[in-house]
Chain A
């Protein structure tokens, strides 16, 4: 069965600093990987996804993520964080294209000015 671990429950970064959110997954085959962002009281918005091909994927809002099969990781990065990036971020893994997703517990990002 698939599982996702996001080791950091909370992360605080200064505005303008770089960001990396960690995600480790467990799945026997090639996974389909996603990062979503959730603002308070809102649904989930897709930031980026990895299905195959280039292991460095670009997403919206200046985010990128790198798939590392050897480490079973799919970490999210952003070179310069903006105050509006404060939200909760969820990593998810799917076994099939566009199918049921398994989510991590989320990482809450706080941005200090």
Chain B
């Protein structure tokens, strides 16, 4: 059973607010990822990290930013939320082999 935690699970927020989506894993995995998932669509990689102080943008352009100060923690920040950011955000991690996913954060920007 993967131990990846995401908070909050659901968030409804107004346009222009700054938000941070939290992701933590207790497995000591070096690699962590953020995927964005719109309803009925595939998951798209928006950020990834191969270790502390390592972050890269994924295949889908995103206005969000990430940081990796500790191995277990990989938060995602939106400086100014917009309705176009409404989506589900899934955090994942891997060491070798399997990629494990957290439960996701469903974000709605009004």
Task: Assess A97 versus B97: contact at CB under 8 Å? Given A42-B104, A44-B90, A103-B43.
Answer: yes
Please name all residues of chain B whose beta carbon is closer than 8 Å to the beta carbon of A36 when the two chains form the complex.
101
Q: Which residue of A lies closest to B106 (CB)?
A: A41
| Bound CA–CA A103/B45 (angstroms) | 9
List residues of A (78-113) whose CB comes within 8 Å of B's CBs: 90, 94, 97-106
Among B33, B40, B42, B102, point to the contact of A43 (Cβ < 8 A). B102
Among B31, B35, B58, point to the contact of A98 (Cβ < 8 A). B31
B94, A98: Cβ atoms closer than 8 Å:
yes
Number of A-B contacts (CB under 8 A): 62
A106, B98: Cβ atoms closer than 8 Å:
no
A46, B98: Cβ atoms closer than 8 Å:
yes
- Tell me how far the C-beta of A103 lies from the nearest C-beta in chain B, rounded to whole angstroms: 4
Q: Does A63 contact B (CB under 8 A)?
A: no
A51, B103: Cβ atoms closer than 8 Å:
no
Q: Which residue of B lies closest to A2 (CB)?
A: B59
Q: Which residue of B lies closest to A3 (CB)?
A: B42
Binding site for B on A (CB under 8 A): 4, 9, 34, 36, 41-46, 49, 51, 90, 94, 97-106
Q: List 28 A-B contacts (CB under 8 A).
A: A36-B101, A41-B104, A42-B103, A43-B4, A43-B6, A43-B102, A43-B104, A44-B43, A44-B92, A44-B101, A45-B101, A49-B97, A97-B97, A98-B31, A98-B94, A98-B96, A98-B97, A98-B98, A99-B94, A100-B58, A101-B45, A102-B59, A103-B35, A104-B42, A105-B40, A105-B42, A106-B41, A106-B42
